[in-house]
Amino acid sequence: LPGLHILAIVFALEVSVGKTNTVMALNNSDVLLPCTFTTCIGFQDLVFTWYFNSTELIYHGKIKSKASEPFLVGRNPRVEFVGSTTGKDNNISIVLKNVEFSDAGKYTCHVKNPKEKNAQHNATIFLTVVQKMVKTDNTLTLIIVGVVGGLIGLLILFMLIKRVVLFIIKKTQDGKKECLVSSSGNDNTENGLAGSKAEQKAPPKA
């Protein structure tokens, strides 16, 4: 609908976790959980939160304006903020320290911007914790050893298929990204704008 398209351009808050929404980490290591956001009209008193498995709040921060860095409201002691908002990218990434197997699961980066009539948007990243990772000749992926067991083949196949699909989707969206709400990674917008799902169409057939 034309009305939805215009709305998405006027108020467009986008949250992204990068090219893939799956992260693997070694047990007892530190892992980066990436997240950035963009907004067409700027932000003021923006609030961002990180959730583990949708319910457990592990980091809560606020940003007064583009000229200031985020300040902490509350966090899990094992979570460290490593982003910056005064540079080129509005980076609100975190590092989870001393990863354990129980940390595997879904991490959601949620942003709310009062300047855009409290527009809300989020993106999700999935963390897999393994005992050992072995590099193969194929640089596209890693074989997971020890934890995943019989699911290794299925997981690798899923990752490769996902790369191809994301590449095709990216190619079809290039050239028409006029500040539209379209998050890379697994976008779980729930309370966002009416136009936030307008661009999630299947790629046109050749």
| Residues of the domain holding 41 | 21-130
- Number of domains present in the structure of the chain: 1
Residue 191, domain member (yes or no): no
Residue 126, domain member (yes or no): yes
Residue 71, domain member (yes or no): yes
What ranges make up the beta strands (E) of 17-141? Answer: 22-26, 31-33, 36-39, 46-52, 56-63, 71-75, 79-81, 90-91, 94-96, 105-113, 119-130, 132-135
Q: What tokens does 125 get?
A: 């990243």
Q: Which residues pair with 123 in a beta bridge?
A: 109
The whole-angstrom separation of Cα 144 and Cα 26 is 10
Tens digit of each residue's pLDDT (9 = 90 or more) over 162-194? 665 565 555 545 444 445 443 444 444 444 443
Residue 70, domain member (yes or no): yes
Give the predicted TM-score (pTM) of the model: 0.62
Residue 2, domain member (yes or no): no
Question: If DSSP codes are grouped into helix, strand and coil, which group holds residue 179?
Answer: coil
Residue 106, domain member (yes or no): yes
Q: Are the CB atoms for 18 and 121 separated by under 8 Å?
A: no
Tens digit of each residue's pLDDT (9 = 90 or more) over 111-154? 999 988 888 999 999 999 999 876 655 544 444 444 444 455 55
Residue 48, domain member (yes or no): yes
13: enclosing H helix or E strand: strand 13-16
Residue closest to 126 by CA, chosen among 18, 204, 11: 18
Residue 175, domain member (yes or no): no
The whole-angstrom separation of Cα 131 and Cα 97 is 16
Domain CATH for 68: 2.60.40.10
